Amino acid sequence: MDLLHSARLTLRDLARHPGFTSAAVATLALAIGANGAMFGVVYAALLKPSAIRQPGNLVTVWERQRASAPVVELSHRNFEDLATHARSFDHVAAFGSSTWPVILDAGGEAARLSSAGVSASFFETLRVQPALGRVFRPDDDRPNAPRVVILSHGTWVRRFGGDPNVVGTTIQLEQPHTIVGVMPRAFDFPRGTDVWLPVVPILAGAGDGRLQSPLESVGVLFLVGRLHEGVTAAMASEELDRLAAQQQRVNGVRRFGDAMVVTPFLDYLMGPVRQALWALFAAVAVLLLIACATVSGLMLTRVSLRRREQAVRMALGATRAQLGQRWILETVILAATGGALGLALMQWIAKGLTTLAPDDVAGLSEVGVNAPVAAFTFGAMLGAAILCGVQPVWYGGSASLIDALADGSHVTPGKRTHRARSILLAVQVGLAVVLLVVAGLVTRSFIKLRTLDLGFVPANVLTMNVEPRDPRPSGNEWMQGLLDRLARLPAVEAAGAVSLRPLALGPIGSDTWVVLDGQPGANEIGRLNPTLNYQVASPGYFNAMRIPLIRGRLFTDRDNGTSPRVALVGESTARHLWRGADPIGKRMLMPSHSADGGQNVWRTVVGVVGDVRYRGLDDVRLDVYDAALQAPSIAADLVIRTSVAPLTTAAAVQTEARRLDPHVILDRVTTMDAIVSRAAAPWRFSVWMFTLFAAMAFLLAAVGLFSLVSLDVTHRRREFAVRLALGARVRDVHGSVLVSALRRALPAVIVGVMIAGASSRTIGHLLFDVTPLDPFTYGAVIALVMAVVAAAAWLPAYRAAHVDPMVLLKRV
């Protein structure tokens, strides 16, 4: 009964002070809601159990070339050697570095699917069980094995109506394949895969027997391995480097890079978004601490202002425990109300987070209030109650009767309150500085990204992939005929084609070796020269993308199968290979890049074009271009510059393509603006979130600072009245208040800057062309905080200094 009675009194008292109550509840609701929403996103994307068991033990492996290529794929022979001899792994498997298109012919209707070529050990390594049928066996993954396929859950539902008897049936994927399994709904790796195929039959079928087996000469694979207990990624990397060097030296096994890269599987799967999510989760935790410090400061003021009331109650027989109980109840009620509102607010915040997040983050569609999220939110509410109430409860229940009467002799808070609130203010300001610095660094990075020279102009460019089913003439001649038709459309300014449009597959692309005219020993020199980013481009591609011509000329229609082979090189390629000499007219030897391997072919450089960021916004490669009409591989990605909204031209483009080939497949229709936006999404997401959380934290800290300075001025009214009466100038009062405010805030700013300097190194993956200790950002944050400190001190001081001293003396 006593507890219920105390609760009713506490609720009545909170209702009589709506300003304090609403401010405290709103502050906690916002902070708890943001924490719950952020945890919901982290749980859905990173923590929720997935079809892949124990992903934390998995790593992904590729090579790099220190001089020019951070990502270099492995051959199947590399995989076999490392799988046989490496002792760091419990299981290891190979998978294609990107998905490969495959055509499904079903009842006369063709559709392009994304296939993943994987080794037979792939599903066992990931510890994934099929929903129907079986996974691949070693007999499926050999050169002349019967062709088999495993369907994704989405493909099974969309293409086969969820037929439970689909296992054992045959489908046409350019040749007959038997369906042996269907994967569960939750499994989607590599991301966007429609079907999984054994990789050895694919690679073995790519050669014609004249050249070295593609299993040894073609690098298109990454490895995924499950580490043994106690083995770290660094230890595995060291062992793999040693084994690869040994295999190359002793057995002559070809390496495409010069150093192994071992990356945690979750980092590979999520990319920079994973670190961004954890960093943002830490940011909202800091925001909750600031909110708790704000509410605790407000409660401390209430405790101090009610010291006389508490003194009377103590004189009437109330114990310290009873007084402390009232403050505990008030804290619990505020935290519980804020938590309940925060849980409701969480839905809106989570919706905003998922809207801003990159669209390729798995699991975000399932963000919501579930048992783990509700439990975390309850824990945040409980933690907030403890953090908010520990100091006010201790302060409210610890004073003696004499101290309470003495401290309550005036209506203003006493020194103990100011000291406690100064500590809380230091926490608020210091943590706000940390968030402001991080937000500033990420924002500066994003600004640099937005102003980055991509090497092309993405605005007003429509792009799509074209797969002619019955091209006559074949390949790039058919594509050039289509481009000629598209160039005559009213809204089209320029049209071209390329083998792989910029930023389409992240760091994955087509690499090639090169030997310059006059270099001896083609095979050995080809390995020592830097790897080039290889593209096939039509004559109109460079105008359509507005890639600048630096010197020489671009491709023309005369660069065809009857003329000598020519090439264009990027500006960095020219500078790196010829070191200042004019490359125009120079010859370079490269593979033919035909499907059957072909012979190495000399090209003459006829032009130098600007560098293009094909593999990532932060990744500049050494580009080389083959003329489409001379190249055996097709340039299948259309790029069309329009004078109107690009997507409105898509229907006309499709119509022209179907006039040339009624069965042509056109998909992946989008704009270059959308592709660039998607590539920048992790940085954009981080900017929005860090800026939002930092702004909220800074606002709370600014309000806390203003409140504390106002209380300080109120407490010093008698002092100011006496000083003004004795002839002190107004600016002396202003200076006194400002110095007092700076004395409280400056140490917090210094500590905050030190913490920011230490913690900002952990977000280095989110920064672009900005160092973690960027002096401009730190200087701007310090200047901003000091300006707010001055503003917070000026207004209360102005009010106190412009009141008649006699009025102030009468009030105090």
* Residue among 638, 555, 546, 649 nearest 603 (CA): 555
For the segment 385-415, what is each residue's pLDDT rounded down to a tens digit? 887 777 666 665 555 555 545 544 444 445 5
pLDDT on residue 463: 95
**Whole-model pTM?**
0.78
pLDDT on residue 305: 61
pLDDT at 512 over 80: yes
For the segment 73-120, what is each residue's pLDDT rounded down to a tens digit? 898 989 998 888 889 999 999 999 888 888 888 766 778 899 999 999
pLDDT on residue 315: 60
For the segment 420-437, what is each residue's pLDDT rounded down to a tens digit? 667 777 777 888 888 888
* Residue among 53, 102, 54, 94 nearest 190 (CA): 94
* Residue among 18, 12, 801, 811 nearest 411 (CA): 811
Please enumerate in sequence order all residues whose Cβ is within 8 A of that of 773, keeping only pairs 6 or more positions apart, or say none: 757, 760
pLDDT at 210 over 50: no
pLDDT on residue 412: 45
End-to-end CA distance of the chain: 41
* Residue among 389, 307, 292 nearest 342 (CA): 292
Cα distances from 528 to residues 304, 516, 535, 573, in angstroms, run 76, 12, 21, 15
Confidence of residue 384 (pLDDT cuts 50, 70, 90): confident
What is the distance between the alpha carbons of residues 687 and 31, in angstroms, rounded to a whole number?
19
pLDDT at 499 over 80: yes
The token duo for 634 is 């097709």
pLDDT on residue 376: 85
pLDDT on residue 727: 64
- Name the β-bridge partners of 603: 588
pLDDT on residue 413: 47
Q: Which of 7-11, 244-248, 499-503 bottoms out in mean pLDDT, i.e. has the lowest?
A: 7-11
Strand blocks (E) in 79-153: 89-96, 100-106, 109-118, 132-133, 148-151
Residue 196 parent element (H or E): strand 195-198
* Residue among 737, 741, 738 nearest 719 (CA): 737
The token duo for 118 is 């994987």
Which position has the higher pLDDT, 547 or 681? 547
Residue at 113: amino acid letter? L
The answer to whether the beta carbons of residues 707 and 442 sit under 8 Å apart is no
What is the distance between the alpha carbons of residues 565 and 587, in angstroms, rounded to a whole number?
10
Confidence of residue 604 (pLDDT cuts 50, 70, 90): very high
Strand blocks (E) in 404-521: 461-467, 492-498, 511-512, 515-516
* Residue among 36, 706, 707 nearest 384 (CA): 36
b/e for 548-583, b at 16 or more Cβ within 10 A? Answer: eeeebebbeeebeeeeebbbbbbbbbbbbbbeeeeb
Query: How many Å is the Cα radius of gyration of the chain?
Result: 34
pLDDT on residue 535: 95
- Name the β-bridge partners of 96: 221
Confidence of residue 811 (pLDDT cuts 50, 70, 90): low
* Residue among 665, 645, 613 nearest 465 (CA): 665
pLDDT on residue 318: 59
pLDDT on residue 192: 86
Averaged confidence pLDDT in the chain: 82
Count of CB atoms within 10 A of residue 160's CB?
A: 17
Please state the domain extents for the chain: 1-52+275-409, 74-255, 430-452+680-812, 469-663
* Residue among 191, 197, 161, 160 nearest 178 (CA): 197
At residue 135, the 3 state secondary structure works out as coil
What is the distance between the alpha carbons of residues 760 and 762, in angstroms, rounded to a whole number?
5
pLDDT at 139 over 70: yes
pLDDT at 537 over 70: yes
What is the distance between the alpha carbons of residues 82 and 88, in angstroms, rounded to a whole number?
10
Please enumerate in sequence order all residues whose Cβ is within 8 A of that of 13, keeping only pairs 6 or more positions apart, or say none: 330
pLDDT at 595 over 60: no
Q: Any idea which residue has 């100064």 for tokens?
A: 422
Q: How far is CA 444 from the centre of its chain?
A: 16
Interstrand relation of 148-151 and 176-182 (parallel, antiparallel or unpaired):
parallel
b/e for 632-648, b at 16 or more Cβ within 10 A? Answer: bbbbbbbbbbbeeebee
For the segment 33-86, what is each residue's pLDDT rounded down to a tens digit? 888 888 888 887 777 777 888 888 999 999 988 766 788 889 898 999 888 888
Backbone angles phi, psi at 92, to 5 degrees: -145, 145
Confidence of residue 208 (pLDDT cuts 50, 70, 90): very low
Span 145-169, average pLDDT:
93
For the segment 685-728, what is each residue's pLDDT rounded down to a tens digit? 888 888 888 888 888 777 767 766 666 666 666 666 666 666 66
Q: How far is CA 80 from the centre of its chain?
A: 33
For the segment 558-588, what is each residue's pLDDT rounded down to a tens digit? 999 889 999 999 999 999 999 878 999 999 9
Percent of the chain scoring above 70 in pLDDT:
82
At residue 222, the 3 state secondary structure works out as strand
The answer to whether the beta carbons of residues 389 and 296 sit under 8 Å apart is yes
